[in-house]
């Protein structure tokens, strides 16, 4: 039997959808300078990483998260926390890549995101298969069972149904925020892995929103909304009549969760609107369409052009901590794609500049 969620679009949900759309349209039309946009986007990624891992018990502060990701700084006794941070940040980068190159969510996307969540900071990891045994969610204090997910043998079919529903509900015209919220709930209900389910559910939510045109220039963090009131987050997720999946969880009315999720999206989008209004310069041109064409590495490489009009392989190798050969290959591919242009072909000191389309970001 295919997944068919039980929910109602209440007046509160309708009001939240209107708030979301109003903020979304306002942000999309605000003239934001590229430097401000890049700063706000990176802040949102750091917030998402910090709060999503904090929900799972990560002990690093927001400042420490920034240092681990940006400066590769280490904190004695927090090695596991550091690996969680790097894993989630890598998953966010993959999410951006998927959103930029794909049209719909697949099971492989979900498994790939989960792989990076648990990859301990590695940039690549094979998609992880679903669990092959039973798992349970226990109370951290009493160790009593709070929730027992479906049996492992049922997980593949349930995940297939979920992905099919996400695609089908989009074609049926269900608003993207509702689609994303329900997918979050159902993924958490299925609990397809032994570990990393919460983080992957939140990544899946963000991916659906990005694919549906609700990326808001990558400037928001729903994870912050959840983390600010963890009790409300878990309470909203707990709507089934019993602690066992087979005791009515699939048929439970999840309107309460949909209201919670849409209100969180509305709050997050309105916060972004306020920040961008404060940061937007009068008459500044918005280069976000050009920036959206860039992959995470290319966006990071823009930092090199803030101080110089040309770069070489050594600059790129230093920035990404890769070999000169790998840097040369990267520069060659960027030149072929139209991101860069070669300005000095000499083998010993070959130099590259931004192509006119991206050079305008710094010299509009």
Same domain (yes/no): 305, 243:
no
In this prediction, what percent of the chain has a pLDDT beyond 70?
92
What CATH number corresponds to the domain at position 173?
A: 1.10.3290.10
Helix (H) or strand (E) holding 91: helix 79-101
Whether residue 171 lies inside any domain: the answer is: yes
pLDDT tens figures, 24-82: 999 888 777 666 777 788 888 889 999 999 998 999 998 899 889 887 889 988 999 99
Cα angle, residue 16 at apex, residues 10 and 18 outer, rounded to 5°? 105
110 in Cβ contact with 102 (< 8 Å)? no
Same domain (yes/no): 197, 133:
yes
What pLDDT, on the 0 to 100 scale, is given for residue 210?
94
Neighbouring-strand partners of residue 354: 340
Tokens of 345: 């072909």
Same domain (yes/no): 219, 335:
no
pLDDT tens figures, 128-161: 999 999 998 887 677 778 889 999 999 999 999 9
Q: How far, in Å, are 205, 288, 338, 348 from residue 47 at the CA level?
A: 16, 20, 32, 42
Q: What total of structural domains would you count in the chain? A: 2
Q: DSSP string covering 117-174, please? A: HTSTT-S--PPPPPPSS---EE-TTT--EEEBPPPGGGHHHHHHHHHHHHHHHHHTT-
Residue among 40, 88, 92, 35 at smallest CA distance from 65: 88
Does the structure show a pLDDT above 90 at 296? no
Q: Which of 255, 279, 303 is the last residue of a domain?
A: 279
183 in Cβ contact with 28 (< 8 Å)? no
What pLDDT, on the 0 to 100 scale, is given for residue 294?
79
**Which position has the higher pLDDT, 133 or 345?**
133
Same domain (yes/no): 260, 306:
no
What pLDDT, on the 0 to 100 scale, is given for residue 307?
66
Confidence of residue 347 (pLDDT cuts 50, 70, 90): confident
What pLDDT, on the 0 to 100 scale, is given for residue 288?
60
Same domain (yes/no): 320, 207:
no
Does the structure show a pLDDT above 70 at 362? no
Same domain (yes/no): 320, 205:
no
Q: What is the mean pLDDT of residues 305-329?
A: 85
pLDDT tens figures, 172-181: 999 999 999 9
Determine which of 20-24, 109-113, 297-301 has the lowest per-residue pLDDT on average. Answer: 297-301
Neighbouring-strand partners of residue 341: 353
The domain of 309 spans 293-359
Whether residue 3 lies inside any domain: the answer is: no
What pLDDT, on the 0 to 100 scale, is given for residue 349?
81
Same domain (yes/no): 104, 201:
yes
Whether residue 344 lies inside any domain: the answer is: yes
What count of residues does the chain have?
364
CA 301 and chain centroid, separation: 20
Q: Which of 251, 279, 307 is the last residue of a domain?
A: 279
Same domain (yes/no): 221, 307:
no
| Residue carrying the six token digits 């939510």 | 205
Whether residue 45 lies inside any domain: the answer is: yes
What pLDDT, on the 0 to 100 scale, is given for residue 108?
96
Whether residue 286 lies inside any domain: the answer is: no
pLDDT tens figures, 97-139: 898 888 899 999 999 999 999 987 677 789 999 999 999 888 7
- What is the C-alpha to C-alpha distance for residues 226 and 220, in angstroms, rounded to an integer? 13
- What is the C-alpha to C-alpha distance for residues 181 and 261, in angstroms, rounded to an integer? 6
20 in Cβ contact with 177 (< 8 Å)? yes
Confidence of residue 9 (pLDDT cuts 50, 70, 90): very high
- What is the C-alpha to C-alpha distance for residues 106 and 37, in angstroms, rounded to an integer? 29
Same domain (yes/no): 213, 160:
yes
Tokens of 82: 């550091």
Q: Which of 234, 256, 279 is the last residue of a domain?
A: 279
353, with CB counted inside 10 A (0-12, 13-18, 19+), is middle
- What is the C-alpha to C-alpha distance for residues 75 and 22, in angstroms, rounded to an integer? 42
Determine which of 71-75, 258-262, 338-342 has the lowest per-residue pLDDT on average. Answer: 71-75
Tokens of 175: 């608003």
pLDDT tens figures, 181-236: 999 999 999 999 999 999 999 999 999 999 999 998 888 889 988 988 888 888 88
**What sections of 212-311 are H helices per DSSP?**
222-228, 230-237, 255-279, 288-292, 296-301
What pLDDT, on the 0 to 100 scale, is given for residue 6?
92
359 in Cβ contact with 339 (< 8 Å)? no
Whether residue 1 lies inside any domain: the answer is: no
Same domain (yes/no): 132, 230:
yes
122 in Cβ contact with 90 (< 8 Å)? yes
Whether residue 252 lies inside any domain: the answer is: yes
Same domain (yes/no): 189, 263:
yes
Same domain (yes/no): 91, 184:
yes
Tokens of 336: 């072929």
Average pLDDT over the chain, rounded to an integer: 87
Non-local CB neighbours of 348 within 8 Å, separated by 6+ positions:
none
- What is the C-alpha to C-alpha distance for residues 215 and 41, in angstroms, rounded to an integer? 11
Whether residue 101 lies inside any domain: the answer is: yes
- DSSP-derived pairing of the beta strands 340-344 and 351-354: antiparallel
Does the structure show a pLDDT above 90 at 255? yes
- What is the C-alpha to C-alpha distance for residues 238 and 253, in angstroms, rounded to an integer? 11
What CATH number corresponds to the domain at position 344?
A: 1.10.10.10
Non-local CB neighbours of 125 within 8 Å, separated by 6+ positions:
112, 115, 116, 118, 119
| Residue carrying the six token digits 């048929």 | 251
């Amino acid at each position: 039997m295919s997944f068919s969620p039980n929910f109602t679009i209440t007046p509160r949900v309708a009001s939240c959808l209107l708030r979301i759309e109003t903020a979304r349209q306002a942000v999309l039309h605000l003239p934001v300078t590229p430097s401000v946009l890049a700063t706000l986007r990176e802040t949102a990624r750091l917030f998402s990483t910090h709060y999503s891992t904090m929900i799972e018990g990560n002990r690093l502060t927001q400042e420490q998260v920034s240092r681990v990701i940006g400066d590769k700084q280490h904190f004695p006794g927090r090695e596991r926390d550091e690996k969680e941070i790097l894993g989630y940040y890598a998953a966010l980068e993959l999410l951006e890549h998927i959103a930029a190159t794909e049209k719909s969510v697949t099971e492989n996307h979900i498994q790939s995101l989960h792989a990076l969540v648990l990859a301990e900071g590695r940039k690549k990891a094979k998609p992880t298969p679903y669990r092959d045994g039973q798992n349970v969610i226990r109370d951290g204090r009493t160790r009593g069972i709070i929730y027992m997910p479906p049996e492992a043998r049922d997980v593949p079919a349930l995940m297939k149904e979920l992905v099919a529903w996400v695609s089908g509900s989009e074609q049926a015209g269900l608003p993207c925020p509702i689609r994303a919220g329900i997918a979050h709930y159902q993924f958490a209900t299925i609990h397809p892995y032994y570990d990393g389910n919460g983080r992957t559910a939140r990544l899946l939510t963000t991916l659906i929103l990005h694919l549906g045109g609700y990326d808001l220039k990558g400037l928001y963090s729903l994870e912050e909304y959840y983390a600010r009131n963890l009790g409300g987050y878990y309470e909203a997720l707990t709507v089934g009549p019993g602690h066992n999946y087979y005791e009515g969880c699939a048929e439970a009315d999840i309107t309460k969760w949909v209201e919670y999720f849409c209100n969180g999206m509305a709050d997050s989008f309105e916060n972004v609107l306020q920040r961008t209004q404060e940061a937007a310069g009068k008459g500044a041109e918005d280069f976000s369409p050009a920036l959206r064409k860039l992959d995470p590495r290319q966006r990071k490489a823009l930092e090199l052009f803030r101080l110089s009009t040309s770069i070489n392989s050594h600059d790129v190798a230093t920035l990404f901590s890769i070999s000169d050969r790998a840097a040369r290959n990267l520069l060659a591919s960027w030149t072929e794609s139209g991101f860069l242009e070669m300005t000095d072909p000499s083998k010993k000191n070959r130099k590259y500049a931004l192509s006119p389309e991206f050079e305008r970001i710094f010299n509009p």
